[in-house]
Structure formats: C-alpha cells, structure tokens
Homo-oligomer: A and B are copies of this chain.
C-alpha cells in the first residue's frame, strides 16, 4: 500500500485535463491529499492549498504522487530535480506514468540513499496466485461495459461513496492505475501475466463480512476484442453477486476499433450473465449506469427512461443523478 496522505504533484501540467489523476484523488479521496505542488507555468489547479515540499511534510504528507500526465514521454530534468529533493526530505513517490520511476537512475539512487520507496503502479508488485475459484464471503459488485472507457470506474467509486454515506460496509477495489493512486492500493490488471489475471482479482477481493460490498473496478469490455480477456478474468476472478451494465450511448464504434459496432445493452446482458454464473450461480444484473455527458439536459432523462423501460431495471447516470438508485438495486441480491 502507498502511504497516505499525499502531496499532489501537478508539475508543469499544460491544462486541467492533464491533471486527471490528481483530480480523481481530490474528487474521491479528498482526505488523502494535504495540498498541491505546482511548478511555474502550471496550467492546472485543483482548488486546494498550494504547498512547497516543506509545507506538505509539515501537513503530514508521506507520499508525493505524480498526479499529472507528462509531456513527450519522458521525465524531465526539471521534474527529476524536485523528485530527488522530495526523496531526500523523506517522501515516497508514487506514479502511474508509462515511464517508470525505477528506470531513472537518479531517482533509484536517491530512494536507496534515503530509504524511500518508488511506487510504479502500472507494474504489479505482487506474485499473484492462480485463481482457485473458491466461494468467498461478502458481496461483490462489478461494472461491465458495452465498451472501454464508458464510466465503469466512476460507477464503482460513486456506489462505494453512496454506501459510505449511508453507513454501509463497502470498499472500492481498483484494477487500474488511476484507481490505485486514488485509494493507495489495488491490482494493475492489464499488466498482469495471463495465467494470473483471475487470481489477482481473487487476491484483490478476499473474504469479508457477509454484509460488506466490494466495488470492483471494471476494465475493457467483453465486446472489445483487444481487451476482452481482461474483462473475462475480472468476471471469473471477481465472482460478482451483482453486475451493473455500463454504457455510453453516443459512441459510433468501439473505442480504437473503427470496424466494430457497439453491442446493444441486451446483447451485453445476454452474454455476461451465463459467463458470470459459471463462477457465481446467484449473480444478477441489477442496473445500468449510463454516461450521458454527451446528451443535453433536455435529452438525458428521456434516454434513461427509455432504457429503464426497455431493460426492466434502473438506468442511472451516477454523475448527474448520484448512485443512490444503483445502491438501492443491490437489495435484490
């Protein structure tokens, strides 16, 4: 686990979008961030306290988290100077960048000299077991999408937040870089060796209290031929009791695959349920999470009502409407 709280490194982010990871931390785990560290010319601002490295330490920060995408695919000298200084002051550093911290000699040396840890959350740090398929106590919910990047992480985070608000027992279980940095731990599933994918998901979602819910972050899509194997391992390793279908209604083709049409929600429902019931015969599809960001205020409610009538289950945009009705829908499980 990455030690919290964090100081969020925004570097010289050109704009707000580049600071997506830091924004996610601030939105979902504001208590995990004591402040933001911005370099001259930084175009992003989370609206939280600007801090120097010294300020961050004084506020209790344990880890400097790279909350921003880097430009040009390398870690610049200007960044490195700050990161080396932070290691010298006692920070660990965590990053989800493609360029690994561990590939930078200066950072490795500074971490070693100062007894600090570099977390490259894109790379598994655990030798995961092969899945054993055994039943586990506690409940698990998984969002399964018609496509990649349709709001599966958002859905899981929003359902977890709603449960926390209600005083229910729940945990968000990240399976990707952003989610891991938000919560401080998880499994970077797309970087796991094929034979151990389902076992990694079992490892991530162990036995728990009977009334506890794990909200497992979804990945890929059963209909996305590049990544469907990862989705399959999530379903069989996760043994979900409840599945939420996730959809973005304005896509014209599968992400990155111009020759592939999106499946209907009915086709996804019909494919996923027999698959899920191999691992958990009691699994049910409880609702639909729709990312309506490209629908206007005038359009989105009508669309959701149509989906809800057609599919016979709640259809909700958790960003616009909150995840309350999706959490309510778990009652049937």
| Residues of A participating in the B interface, judged by any CB pair closer than 8 Å | 130-135, 189-195, 197-199, 222-223, 225-233, 236-237, 254, 257, 259-260, 263, 267, 270-271, 274-275, 278-279
Contact of A198 among B193, B226, B275 (CB under 8 A): B226
- Are A193 and B192 CB-contacts (below 8 A) given A131-B225, A225-B237, A228-B233? yes
Contact A133 B198 (CB under 8 A): no
Residues of B within 8 A of A223 (CB): 278
Contact of A232 among B228, B263, B278, B279 (CB under 8 A): B228
Contact B225 A195 (CB under 8 A): no
Cα-based distance from A232 to B131 in the complex (angstroms): 16
- Are A279 and B197 CB-contacts (below 8 A) given A133-B259, A232-B232, A260-B133? no
Residues of B within 8 A of A222 (CB): 232, 275, 278
Contact B226 A199 (CB under 8 A): yes
Nearest-Cβ distance from residue A316 to partner chain B, whole angstroms: 27
Contact of A236 among B199, B229, B263, B270 (CB under 8 A): B229
Given contacts A232-B232, A267-B274, 13 further A-B contacts (CB under 8 A): A131-B226, A132-B226, A133-B225, A133-B254, A195-B227, A198-B227, A198-B228, A225-B237, A229-B231, A229-B232, A229-B236, A260-B278, A271-B274
Contact of A133 among B130, B133, B257, B278 (CB under 8 A): B257
